[in-house]
Structure 1
Amino acid sequence: MLLDSGADVNAQGGEYGNALQAASAGGHEKMVQMLLDRGADANAQGGDYGNALQAASGEGHRKIVQMLLDRGARPTAKVLFSVLSRKLSTTVRLLVPYLSEDAVLERDADHGKSPLHWAAELGYTSLTNRCLGLGADVDATDNYGETALHYAAENRHLDIIQILIQENVNRTIVDSMDEQRSTVREGLVQAVAEGLIKTSSHICSNELVQSNLNQAISFYFLPKLGVYFAKDCKNGVSRMIVGQDREIQRSSSLFAQIVLEEE
Protein backbone atom coordinates (compact mmCIF):
# COMPACT_ATOMS: atom_id res chain seq x y z
CA MET A 1 0.00 0.00 0.00
CA LEU A 2 1.25 3.49 -0.84
CA LEU A 3 0.88 4.76 2.72
CA ASP A 4 3.08 1.93 3.95
CA SER A 5 5.67 3.09 1.45
CA GLY A 6 5.71 6.59 2.89
CA ALA A 7 3.12 8.37 0.74
CA ASP A 8 1.70 11.58 2.22
CA VAL A 9 -1.81 10.85 3.50
CA ASN A 10 -2.70 14.51 2.97
CA ALA A 11 -1.26 14.84 -0.53
CA GLN A 12 -3.26 17.27 -2.67
CA GLY A 13 -4.36 16.78 -6.25
CA GLY A 14 -7.06 15.45 -8.52
CA GLU A 15 -10.81 15.97 -8.65
CA TYR A 16 -11.35 15.51 -4.92
CA GLY A 17 -8.28 17.31 -3.70
CA ASN A 18 -7.14 14.57 -1.34
CA ALA A 19 -7.74 10.91 -0.55
CA LEU A 20 -9.96 11.59 2.46
CA GLN A 21 -12.35 13.73 0.46
CA ALA A 22 -12.50 11.13 -2.31
CA ALA A 23 -13.29 8.34 0.15
CA SER A 24 -15.85 10.50 1.95
CA ALA A 25 -17.65 11.41 -1.27
CA GLY A 26 -17.78 7.77 -2.30
CA GLY A 27 -19.14 6.57 1.03
CA HIS A 28 -16.18 4.27 1.70
CA GLU A 29 -16.36 4.03 5.47
CA LYS A 30 -13.47 1.62 6.01
CA MET A 31 -11.20 3.71 3.81
CA VAL A 32 -12.17 6.90 5.64
CA GLN A 33 -11.45 5.23 8.97
CA MET A 34 -8.08 3.99 7.77
CA LEU A 35 -7.07 7.41 6.41
CA LEU A 36 -8.07 9.12 9.64
CA ASP A 37 -6.12 6.55 11.64
CA ARG A 38 -3.10 7.31 9.45
CA GLY A 39 -3.32 11.02 10.24
CA ALA A 40 -5.48 12.45 7.47
CA ASP A 41 -6.50 16.05 8.17
CA ALA A 42 -10.29 16.06 8.62
CA ASN A 43 -10.38 19.77 7.74
CA ALA A 44 -8.10 19.69 4.69
CA GLN A 45 -9.40 22.02 1.98
CA GLY A 46 -9.48 21.58 -1.79
CA GLY A 47 -11.19 19.53 -4.45
CA ASP A 48 -14.68 19.79 -5.88
CA TYR A 49 -16.46 19.67 -2.52
CA GLY A 50 -14.10 21.89 -0.56
CA ASN A 51 -13.45 19.39 2.22
CA ALA A 52 -14.28 15.86 3.31
CA LEU A 53 -17.19 16.88 5.55
CA GLN A 54 -18.81 18.80 2.71
CA ALA A 55 -18.42 15.74 0.49
CA ALA A 56 -19.87 13.28 3.00
CA SER A 57 -22.77 15.49 4.03
CA GLY A 58 -23.59 16.47 0.47
CA GLU A 59 -23.75 12.84 -0.59
CA GLY A 60 -25.79 11.80 2.45
CA HIS A 61 -23.16 9.55 4.04
CA ARG A 62 -24.19 10.13 7.65
CA LYS A 63 -21.87 7.58 9.25
CA ILE A 64 -18.89 9.22 7.60
CA VAL A 65 -20.15 12.65 8.66
CA GLN A 66 -20.09 11.49 12.27
CA MET A 67 -16.67 9.87 11.85
CA LEU A 68 -15.25 13.14 10.54
CA LEU A 69 -16.88 15.20 13.28
CA ASP A 70 -15.44 12.86 15.89
CA ARG A 71 -11.99 13.43 14.39
CA GLY A 72 -12.17 17.19 14.56
CA ALA A 73 -13.93 18.24 11.36
CA ARG A 74 -15.84 21.44 11.92
CA PRO A 75 -18.88 22.33 9.83
CA THR A 76 -18.56 25.62 8.01
CA ALA A 77 -21.50 27.74 6.91
CA LYS A 78 -21.07 26.30 3.42
CA VAL A 79 -21.52 22.77 4.74
CA LEU A 80 -24.54 23.78 6.79
CA PHE A 81 -26.28 25.66 3.96
CA SER A 82 -25.71 22.72 1.65
CA VAL A 83 -27.53 20.24 3.89
CA LEU A 84 -30.23 22.77 4.82
CA SER A 85 -31.05 23.52 1.19
CA ARG A 86 -31.47 19.78 0.61
CA LYS A 87 -33.51 19.32 3.79
CA LEU A 88 -31.23 16.58 5.11
CA SER A 89 -32.67 16.73 8.60
CA THR A 90 -30.69 13.84 10.10
CA THR A 91 -27.40 15.28 8.88
CA VAL A 92 -28.37 18.70 10.23
CA ARG A 93 -28.89 17.15 13.67
CA LEU A 94 -25.43 15.61 13.50
CA LEU A 95 -23.87 18.97 12.68
CA VAL A 96 -25.71 21.09 15.25
CA PRO A 97 -23.53 20.37 18.34
CA TYR A 98 -20.38 21.21 16.38
CA LEU A 99 -21.50 24.53 14.89
CA SER A 100 -19.44 27.60 15.68
CA GLU A 101 -20.55 31.18 16.17
CA ASP A 102 -19.08 32.11 12.79
CA ALA A 103 -21.13 29.44 11.04
CA VAL A 104 -24.49 30.48 12.49
CA LEU A 105 -23.94 34.17 11.74
CA GLU A 106 -23.31 33.65 8.01
CA ARG A 107 -25.89 34.32 5.27
CA ASP A 108 -26.49 32.21 2.19
CA ALA A 109 -25.59 33.78 -1.14
CA ASP A 110 -28.95 33.30 -2.86
CA HIS A 111 -31.47 34.68 -0.37
CA GLY A 112 -29.53 36.27 2.46
CA LYS A 113 -30.97 33.72 4.87
CA SER A 114 -29.13 32.85 8.05
CA PRO A 115 -29.12 29.37 9.60
CA LEU A 116 -31.79 30.69 11.99
CA HIS A 117 -34.04 31.56 9.05
CA TRP A 118 -33.55 28.07 7.66
CA ALA A 119 -34.19 26.45 11.03
CA ALA A 120 -37.43 28.39 11.47
CA GLU A 121 -38.59 27.56 7.96
CA LEU A 122 -37.85 23.84 8.22
CA GLY A 123 -38.88 23.39 11.85
CA TYR A 124 -35.48 22.37 13.21
CA THR A 125 -35.77 23.03 16.94
CA SER A 126 -32.25 21.97 17.89
CA LEU A 127 -30.71 24.21 15.24
CA THR A 128 -32.93 27.11 16.33
CA ASN A 129 -31.74 26.78 19.91
CA ARG A 130 -28.11 26.40 18.84
CA CYS A 131 -28.24 29.52 16.67
CA LEU A 132 -29.81 31.60 19.42
CA GLY A 133 -27.36 30.24 21.96
CA LEU A 134 -24.47 31.35 19.75
CA GLY A 135 -25.82 34.86 19.38
CA ALA A 136 -27.91 34.81 16.21
CA ASP A 137 -30.04 37.94 15.81
CA VAL A 138 -33.68 36.92 16.19
CA ASP A 139 -34.80 40.08 14.35
CA ALA A 140 -32.45 39.72 11.37
CA THR A 141 -34.15 39.91 7.98
CA ASP A 142 -33.23 38.18 4.74
CA ASN A 143 -33.18 39.73 1.26
CA TYR A 144 -36.99 39.78 1.26
CA GLY A 145 -37.44 41.41 4.65
CA GLU A 146 -38.41 38.15 6.31
CA THR A 147 -37.48 37.35 9.92
CA ALA A 148 -37.18 33.89 11.43
CA LEU A 149 -40.57 34.39 13.06
CA HIS A 150 -42.17 35.04 9.69
CA TYR A 151 -40.81 31.74 8.38
CA ALA A 152 -41.92 29.85 11.47
CA ALA A 153 -45.42 31.31 11.22
CA GLU A 154 -45.74 30.64 7.49
CA ASN A 155 -44.79 27.00 8.01
CA ARG A 156 -46.83 26.51 11.21
CA HIS A 157 -43.88 25.47 13.35
CA LEU A 158 -45.45 26.26 16.71
CA ASP A 159 -42.50 25.09 18.80
CA ILE A 160 -40.21 27.43 16.88
CA ILE A 161 -42.68 30.32 17.25
CA GLN A 162 -42.69 29.86 21.01
CA ILE A 163 -38.88 29.76 21.17
CA LEU A 164 -38.55 32.92 19.10
CA ILE A 165 -41.19 34.79 21.11
CA GLN A 166 -39.21 34.08 24.27
CA GLU A 167 -36.28 35.89 22.65
CA ASN A 168 -38.22 39.18 22.75
CA VAL A 169 -38.64 39.66 19.02
CA ASN A 170 -39.01 43.20 17.75
CA ARG A 171 -42.74 43.74 17.40
CA THR A 172 -42.39 46.60 14.93
CA ILE A 173 -40.60 44.76 12.14
CA VAL A 174 -42.57 44.92 8.89
CA ASP A 175 -41.68 42.71 5.97
CA SER A 176 -41.23 43.88 2.40
CA MET A 177 -44.16 42.08 0.78
CA ASP A 178 -47.16 43.87 -0.70
CA GLU A 179 -49.12 46.13 1.64
CA GLN A 180 -51.96 43.75 2.45
CA ARG A 181 -49.79 40.73 3.21
CA SER A 182 -47.33 42.93 5.05
CA THR A 183 -50.07 44.23 7.32
CA VAL A 184 -51.48 40.79 8.02
CA ARG A 185 -48.13 39.18 8.67
CA GLU A 186 -46.93 42.01 10.86
CA GLY A 187 -50.18 41.62 12.75
CA LEU A 188 -49.37 37.95 13.25
CA VAL A 189 -45.97 38.79 14.69
CA GLN A 190 -47.45 41.35 17.07
CA ALA A 191 -50.38 39.20 18.10
CA VAL A 192 -48.26 36.19 18.94
CA ALA A 193 -45.68 38.35 20.71
CA GLU A 194 -48.32 40.11 22.78
CA GLY A 195 -50.21 36.95 23.61
CA LEU A 196 -53.35 38.06 21.79
CA ILE A 197 -53.82 34.61 20.32
CA LYS A 198 -54.75 32.33 23.17
CA THR A 199 -56.90 29.33 23.98
CA SER A 200 -60.16 29.17 25.86
CA SER A 201 -62.82 26.63 26.67
CA HIS A 202 -65.44 29.32 26.13
CA ILE A 203 -65.83 29.99 22.47
CA CYS A 204 -67.84 33.15 23.14
CA SER A 205 -65.37 34.65 25.61
CA ASN A 206 -65.08 38.37 24.97
CA GLU A 207 -61.39 38.42 25.83
CA LEU A 208 -60.72 36.58 22.60
CA VAL A 209 -62.38 39.21 20.46
CA GLN A 210 -59.40 41.49 19.88
CA SER A 211 -60.41 43.76 16.96
CA ASN A 212 -59.90 43.55 13.25
CA LEU A 213 -56.29 42.50 13.82
CA ASN A 214 -57.41 39.08 14.99
CA GLN A 215 -59.73 38.82 12.03
CA ALA A 216 -56.90 39.51 9.62
CA ILE A 217 -54.63 37.06 11.38
CA SER A 218 -57.30 34.40 11.43
CA PHE A 219 -57.99 34.57 7.73
CA TYR A 220 -54.30 34.59 6.87
CA PHE A 221 -52.76 32.19 9.35
CA LEU A 222 -55.33 29.70 10.56
CA PRO A 223 -56.23 28.34 7.10
CA LYS A 224 -52.58 27.32 6.82
CA LEU A 225 -53.17 25.09 9.83
CA GLY A 226 -56.00 23.36 8.05
CA VAL A 227 -58.68 25.11 10.06
CA TYR A 228 -61.90 26.05 8.33
CA PHE A 229 -64.59 28.48 9.38
CA ALA A 230 -68.36 27.98 9.32
CA LYS A 231 -71.04 30.55 10.10
CA ASP A 232 -73.03 29.78 13.23
CA CYS A 233 -76.32 31.55 12.59
CA LYS A 234 -77.70 30.95 16.08
CA ASN A 235 -75.18 32.95 18.09
CA GLY A 236 -73.83 35.24 15.39
CA VAL A 237 -70.18 34.31 15.76
CA SER A 238 -67.81 32.37 13.59
CA ARG A 239 -66.61 29.08 14.91
CA MET A 240 -63.93 26.74 13.68
CA ILE A 241 -64.45 23.24 12.45
CA VAL A 242 -61.16 21.47 13.01
CA GLY A 243 -59.98 18.44 11.05
CA GLN A 244 -59.03 15.23 12.78
CA ASP A 245 -55.41 14.73 11.82
CA ARG A 246 -52.91 14.99 14.64
CA GLU A 247 -50.97 17.96 13.33
CA ILE A 248 -54.09 20.08 13.02
CA GLN A 249 -55.24 19.07 16.47
CA ARG A 250 -51.85 19.98 17.92
CA SER A 251 -51.79 23.29 16.09
CA SER A 252 -55.33 24.19 17.00
CA SER A 253 -54.65 23.51 20.68
CA LEU A 254 -52.60 26.69 20.68
CA PHE A 255 -54.45 28.85 18.19
CA ALA A 256 -58.01 27.55 18.34
CA GLN A 257 -61.13 29.23 19.68
CA ILE A 258 -60.55 32.72 18.27
CA VAL A 259 -63.89 34.43 17.89
CA LEU A 260 -64.35 36.84 15.02
CA GLU A 261 -66.44 39.96 15.44
CA GLU A 262 -69.34 40.37 13.09
CA GLU A 263 -68.91 43.33 10.78
Structure 2
Amino acid sequence: MSETPLHAAAAKDDVAAIQELLSHGAQIDARDNSGATALLVAAHANQIHAAEALINAGADVNIKDNINDSPYLYAGARGHLEILKMTLAHGADLKSTNRYGGTALIPASERGHVDTVRTLIEAGVDVDHVNDLGWTALLEAIILGDGGQRHQQIVELLVKGKANVNLADREGVTPLRHARALGYQEIERMLLAAGAR
Protein backbone atom coordinates (compact mmCIF):
# COMPACT_ATOMS: atom_id res chain seq x y z
CA MET A 1 0.00 0.00 0.00
CA SER A 2 1.27 3.45 -0.84
CA GLU A 3 1.07 6.40 1.53
CA THR A 4 -2.34 6.86 3.16
CA PRO A 5 -3.91 10.23 4.02
CA LEU A 6 -2.92 9.44 7.62
CA HIS A 7 0.74 9.15 6.60
CA ALA A 8 0.47 12.49 4.77
CA ALA A 9 -1.13 14.17 7.79
CA ALA A 10 1.59 12.77 10.08
CA ALA A 11 4.34 14.10 7.80
CA LYS A 12 2.75 17.58 7.93
CA ASP A 13 2.18 17.49 11.72
CA ASP A 14 -1.53 18.03 11.03
CA VAL A 15 -3.17 16.89 14.26
CA ALA A 16 -6.69 17.97 13.24
CA ALA A 17 -6.46 15.87 10.07
CA ILE A 18 -5.08 12.90 12.03
CA GLN A 19 -7.98 13.03 14.49
CA GLU A 20 -10.51 13.48 11.67
CA LEU A 21 -9.11 10.50 9.72
CA LEU A 22 -9.03 8.25 12.79
CA SER A 23 -12.61 9.20 13.72
CA HIS A 24 -13.65 8.03 10.23
CA GLY A 25 -12.00 4.64 10.63
CA ALA A 26 -8.50 5.17 9.20
CA GLN A 27 -6.27 2.25 10.18
CA ILE A 28 -3.83 3.71 12.69
CA ASP A 29 -1.04 1.20 12.03
CA ALA A 30 -1.47 0.90 8.23
CA ARG A 31 1.89 0.68 6.44
CA ASP A 32 3.17 2.40 3.32
CA ASN A 33 5.40 0.79 0.67
CA SER A 34 8.46 1.09 2.93
CA GLY A 35 6.59 -0.65 5.75
CA ALA A 36 6.34 2.57 7.74
CA THR A 37 3.29 3.40 9.84
CA ALA A 38 2.05 6.99 10.13
CA LEU A 39 3.76 7.13 13.52
CA LEU A 40 7.12 6.21 11.98
CA VAL A 41 6.58 8.92 9.34
CA ALA A 42 6.00 11.40 12.18
CA ALA A 43 9.15 10.13 13.94
CA HIS A 44 11.20 10.51 10.72
CA ALA A 45 10.18 14.17 10.47
CA ASN A 46 10.34 14.73 14.25
CA GLN A 47 6.70 15.89 14.12
CA ILE A 48 6.04 15.89 17.86
CA HIS A 49 2.34 16.85 17.81
CA ALA A 50 1.47 14.27 15.16
CA ALA A 51 3.39 11.60 17.06
CA GLU A 52 1.62 12.51 20.27
CA ALA A 53 -1.82 12.39 18.63
CA LEU A 54 -1.08 8.98 17.09
CA ILE A 55 0.44 7.50 20.25
CA ASN A 56 -2.42 8.75 22.40
CA ALA A 57 -4.85 7.18 19.91
CA GLY A 58 -3.07 3.83 20.35
CA ALA A 59 -0.47 3.67 17.56
CA ASP A 60 2.06 0.86 18.09
CA VAL A 61 5.50 2.30 18.91
CA ASN A 62 7.26 -0.99 18.09
CA ILE A 63 6.07 -1.79 14.54
CA LYS A 64 9.13 -2.04 12.28
CA ASP A 65 9.41 -0.96 8.65
CA ASN A 66 11.20 -2.87 5.89
CA ILE A 67 14.63 -1.89 7.26
CA ASN A 68 13.84 -2.77 10.89
CA ASP A 69 13.23 0.77 12.17
CA SER A 70 10.37 1.30 14.62
CA PRO A 71 9.16 4.69 15.89
CA TYR A 72 10.97 3.92 19.17
CA LEU A 73 14.25 2.81 17.58
CA TYR A 74 14.29 5.67 15.06
CA ALA A 75 13.55 8.37 17.66
CA GLY A 76 16.32 6.96 19.85
CA ALA A 77 18.88 6.73 17.05
CA ARG A 78 18.16 10.26 15.81
CA GLY A 79 17.94 11.94 19.20
CA HIS A 80 14.27 12.92 18.74
CA LEU A 81 13.91 13.14 22.50
CA GLU A 82 10.26 14.19 22.86
CA ILE A 83 9.03 11.38 20.62
CA LEU A 84 11.42 8.93 22.26
CA LYS A 85 10.00 9.76 25.71
CA MET A 86 6.45 9.24 24.41
CA THR A 87 7.38 5.82 22.97
CA LEU A 88 9.01 4.84 26.27
CA ALA A 89 5.84 5.83 28.16
CA HIS A 90 3.74 3.71 25.76
CA GLY A 91 5.40 0.32 25.77
CA ALA A 92 8.60 0.69 23.77
CA ASP A 93 10.37 -2.68 23.55
CA LEU A 94 13.77 -1.92 25.10
CA LYS A 95 15.17 -5.20 23.75
CA SER A 96 14.19 -4.51 20.13
CA THR A 97 17.07 -4.09 17.71
CA ASN A 98 17.71 -2.27 14.43
CA ARG A 99 19.04 -3.71 11.18
CA TYR A 100 22.55 -3.79 12.66
CA GLY A 101 21.38 -5.84 15.63
CA GLY A 102 21.81 -2.82 17.91
CA THR A 103 19.53 -1.29 20.53
CA ALA A 104 18.50 2.38 20.30
CA LEU A 105 21.31 3.18 22.75
CA ILE A 106 24.09 2.21 20.33
CA PRO A 107 23.38 4.70 17.49
CA ALA A 108 22.43 7.36 20.06
CA SER A 109 25.86 6.92 21.66
CA GLU A 110 27.67 6.98 18.32
CA ARG A 111 25.86 10.13 17.14
CA GLY A 112 26.45 12.11 20.32
CA HIS A 113 22.86 12.45 21.55
CA VAL A 114 23.66 13.00 25.24
CA ASP A 115 20.12 13.49 26.58
CA THR A 116 18.87 10.54 24.54
CA VAL A 117 21.61 8.30 25.95
CA ARG A 118 20.74 9.42 29.48
CA THR A 119 17.04 8.75 28.86
CA LEU A 120 17.65 5.29 27.41
CA ILE A 121 19.99 4.26 30.25
CA GLU A 122 17.42 5.46 32.80
CA ALA A 123 14.71 3.52 30.93
CA GLY A 124 16.75 0.35 31.40
CA VAL A 125 18.20 -0.42 27.96
CA ASP A 126 21.01 -2.98 28.24
CA VAL A 127 24.21 -0.89 28.27
CA ASP A 128 26.35 -3.88 27.30
CA HIS A 129 24.29 -5.12 24.34
CA VAL A 130 26.60 -6.17 21.49
CA ASN A 131 25.44 -5.46 17.92
CA ASP A 132 26.16 -7.45 14.75
CA LEU A 133 29.48 -5.59 14.31
CA GLY A 134 30.58 -6.83 17.73
CA TRP A 135 30.34 -3.34 19.23
CA THR A 136 28.67 -2.02 22.38
CA ALA A 137 27.37 1.53 22.90
CA LEU A 138 30.67 2.33 24.67
CA LEU A 139 32.77 1.04 21.78
CA GLU A 140 30.68 2.96 19.22
CA ALA A 141 30.87 6.18 21.24
CA ILE A 142 34.67 5.87 21.14
CA ILE A 143 35.34 4.37 17.70
CA LEU A 144 32.73 6.34 15.75
CA GLY A 145 32.56 9.41 18.00
CA ASP A 146 34.86 12.42 17.75
CA GLY A 147 36.30 12.35 21.27
CA GLY A 148 34.76 15.76 21.95
CA GLN A 149 32.54 17.08 24.72
CA ARG A 150 29.35 15.21 23.78
CA HIS A 151 31.06 11.85 23.37
CA GLN A 152 32.96 12.39 26.63
CA GLN A 153 29.63 12.98 28.39
CA ILE A 154 28.21 9.83 26.80
CA VAL A 155 31.18 7.72 27.91
CA GLU A 156 30.69 9.15 31.41
CA LEU A 157 26.97 8.26 31.34
CA LEU A 158 27.70 4.72 30.12
CA VAL A 159 30.37 4.22 32.80
CA LYS A 160 27.97 5.51 35.49
CA GLY A 161 25.31 3.24 33.97
CA LYS A 162 27.58 0.28 34.80
CA ALA A 163 28.74 -0.45 31.24
CA ASN A 164 31.49 -3.10 31.22
CA VAL A 165 34.53 -0.96 30.39
CA ASN A 166 36.57 -4.04 29.47
CA LEU A 167 34.15 -5.55 26.96
CA ALA A 168 36.35 -5.80 23.87
CA ASP A 169 35.41 -5.84 20.18
CA ARG A 170 35.67 -8.97 18.03
CA GLU A 171 39.40 -8.41 17.54
CA GLY A 172 39.88 -8.30 21.31
CA VAL A 173 40.55 -4.53 21.35
CA THR A 174 39.17 -2.93 24.53
CA PRO A 175 37.52 0.50 24.78
CA LEU A 176 40.66 1.76 26.54
CA ARG A 177 42.94 0.65 23.72
CA HIS A 178 40.65 2.27 21.15
CA ALA A 179 40.58 5.54 23.12
CA ARG A 180 44.40 5.51 23.39
CA ALA A 181 44.86 4.75 19.69
CA LEU A 182 42.57 7.68 18.80
CA GLY A 183 44.29 10.03 21.25
CA TYR A 184 41.11 10.66 23.29
CA GLN A 185 42.88 11.46 26.56
CA GLU A 186 39.80 12.60 28.49
CA ILE A 187 37.94 9.39 27.61
CA GLU A 188 41.05 7.37 28.42
CA ARG A 189 41.19 9.02 31.85
CA MET A 190 37.52 8.21 32.54
CA LEU A 191 37.96 4.60 31.50
CA LEU A 192 41.07 4.17 33.65
CA ALA A 193 39.21 5.63 36.63
CA ALA A 194 36.50 3.03 36.04
CA GLY A 195 39.00 0.15 36.11
CA ALA A 196 39.57 -0.25 32.37
CA ARG A 197 42.47 -2.37 31.23
RMSD: 2.6
- 2:184 is aligned with 1:155: yes
TM-score by length of 2: 0.67
Larger strand proportion, structure 1 or 2? 1
Mapped partners of 2:68, 2:75: distance in 1? 9
Residue segments in structure 2 that go unaligned for 5+ positions in a row: 1-19, 144-150
Mapped partners of 1:95, 1:114: distance in 2? 14
Aligned residue pairs: how many? Answer: 159
Alignment of 1:174-253 (within 5 A): 189=197
SS in 1 for 2:131: coil
| CA-CA distance at 1:37 after TM superposition | 0.8
Match for residue 40 of structure 1 among 50, 59, 74 = 59
Match for residue 10 of structure 1 among 29, 51, 68 = 29
Match for residue 169 of structure 2 among 142, 166, 176 = 142
Mapped partners of 2:161, 2:193: distance in 1? 15
SS in 1 for 2:104: helix
Alignment of 1:44-63 (within 5 A): 44-48=63-67, 50-63=69-82
User: Could you say which structure has the larger radius of gyration?
Assistant: 1
TM-score by length of 1: 0.52
Higher relative contact order (CA 8 A, sep 6+): 2
What amino acid sits opposite 1:71 in the alignment? H
What amino acid sits opposite 2:166 in the alignment? D
**Are the aligned partners of 2:139 and 2:175 in contact in 1 as well (CA < 8 Å)?**
yes
Mapped partners of 1:131, 1:73: distance in 2? 22
CA deviations on 1:74-118 (whole Å, 9 max, x unpaired) are 4442422222332223322222212433x6322342xx2222323
CA deviations on 1:176-211 (whole Å, 9 max, x unpaired) are xxxxxxxxxxxxx4xxxxxxxxxxxxxxxxxxxxxx
| CA-CA distance at 1:4 after TM superposition | 0.5
Match for residue 138 of structure 2 among 112, 116, 123 = 116
- Residue in 1 aligned with 2:50? 31
Mapped partners of 1:115, 1:43: distance in 2? 21
| CA-CA distance at 1:3 after TM superposition | 0.9
- Residue in 2 aligned with 1:128? 159
What amino acid sits opposite 1:86 in the alignment? R
- Residue in 1 aligned with 2:9? none
**Are the aligned partners of 1:24 and 1:52 in contact in 2 as well (CA < 8 Å)?**
yes
- Residue in 1 aligned with 2:11? none
Q: Residues 97 and 144 from structure 1, CA distance in 2 versus in 1: closer, same or farther, beyond 3 angstroms?
A: same
**Are the aligned partners of 1:107 and 1:113 in contact in 2 as well (CA < 8 Å)?**
yes
